Amino acid sequence: MSALPWHDRVASLWAAAEELDPAALRSEMAGLIAEREEGDPEALFEAASVEDFLGQETAAIPLYRAALSAGLSGIRRTEATIQLASSLRNVGDSSGAIALLRGVPEEDPLAPSARAFLALALHDDDKPTPALRRVLADLAPTLPAYGRSVAAYAAELPARPRVRSIAVALIVRDGWVLAERYPENRERGAYLRAPGGGIDFGERAEDAVVRELREELGASVTTRRLLAVVENIFVDGPGTRGHEVAFVFAARSPETDALPLDGRIAVIDGHTEVGWYRLADLQAGELPFYPDGALELACALDADG
């Protein structure tokens, strides 16, 4: 065994990684990992990094998660978070990447890097305006002139007008409906929306509703049935108008069925929560429930049992 410290030998291996074929890199790293105790977080991180380096994101993701769960700390923890988020983005889970990257504290030395990857994930999640705002906000302080103007324009940058196709789930239970609550702002009051989200290009609406509940709530969908296709045109914030075509599905999920009536699930890639709301209260006008027509559909579902 070399007299050099383990971390130095790992660094030397990474310095030579470009010159090694995949089998040799895996073999040499495996030898270094074997020197650590089983489940060592740094060893798991290095194993994940090898798979990531070789373009095997699906193999790297569980190793990154294991390293974080095992207590990886310090700068390595932030590196693992960023690299895991990047791998998730590369396999199509932009929502999961966004949730991880938003959790990196502003005071972290790698926070600027996390924000750069956040911008990429926002773009891939069909949120180009928030992605551009993020990049311009970070760029503005470095500009030789006009930094304040760029920062101000970035903060006021409106989302581009577009028609968005979404798929949402109506999940009802004994007079209650599952809904995501959005807080009030200067333009409108608080409101509820059936959980779900955007349909990706080339994706069927029935598959999108399954993916969205998995990505946003960590919930599986066991059944879904298309009830209606409805349209929403609305104002969602200062200078922000929305236009959605919504595919509304009746759905069932064991995870949401197990949620107590007073329980809440935090949306993984956002700042909202999903919980149960009494249909009778919504019919009485307690809170608007979107998309348009969803309340009537939910009441009909509840009546059908």
Q: How many Å is the maximal CA-CA distance in the chain? A: 75
Phi, psi values for residue 139, rounded to 5°: -75, -35
Residues 69 and 96 sit within 8 Å (Cβ to Cβ):
no
Distances (CA, A) of 103 to 31, 78, 86, 110, 242: 33, 10, 14, 12, 28
Distances (CA, A) of 211 to 25, 199, 204, 229, 286: 35, 9, 11, 19, 30
HEC string for 16-49:
CHHHCCHHHHHHHHHHHHCCCCCCCHHHHHHHHH
**Average pLDDT rounded to a whole number, residues 163-188:** 91
Closest by CA to 297, choosing from 189, 239, 221, 225, is 225
- Percent of residues, the chain, with pLDDT higher than 90: 80
pLDDT of residue 305: 72
Q: Tell me the per-residue pLDDT of 90-105, one tens digit each, with 9 for 90 and over.
A: 998 888 899 899 999 9
pLDDT of residue 237: 62
Q: Tell me the per-residue pLDDT of 102-127, one tens digit each, with 9 for 90 and over.
A: 999 999 999 999 999 999 999 998 88
Q: Tell me the per-residue pLDDT of 65-83, one tens digit each, with 9 for 90 and over.
A: 999 999 999 999 999 999 9
pLDDT of residue 162: 82
The rounded mean pLDDT for the chain is 92
Q: Tell me the per-residue pLDDT of 20-71, one tens digit each, with 9 for 90 and over.
A: 999 999 999 999 999 999 999 999 999 999 999 999 999 999 999 999 999 9
Residues 215 and 98 sit within 8 Å (Cβ to Cβ):
no
> Would residue 174 be called left, alpha or beta, if left means φ above 0 and alpha means ψ between -120 and 50 degrees?
left
Q: Tell me the per-residue pLDDT of 247-295, one tens digit each, with 9 for 90 and over.
A: 999 999 999 999 999 999 998 877 899 999 999 999 999 999 999 999 9
Closest by CA to 13, choosing from 3, 24, 37, is 24
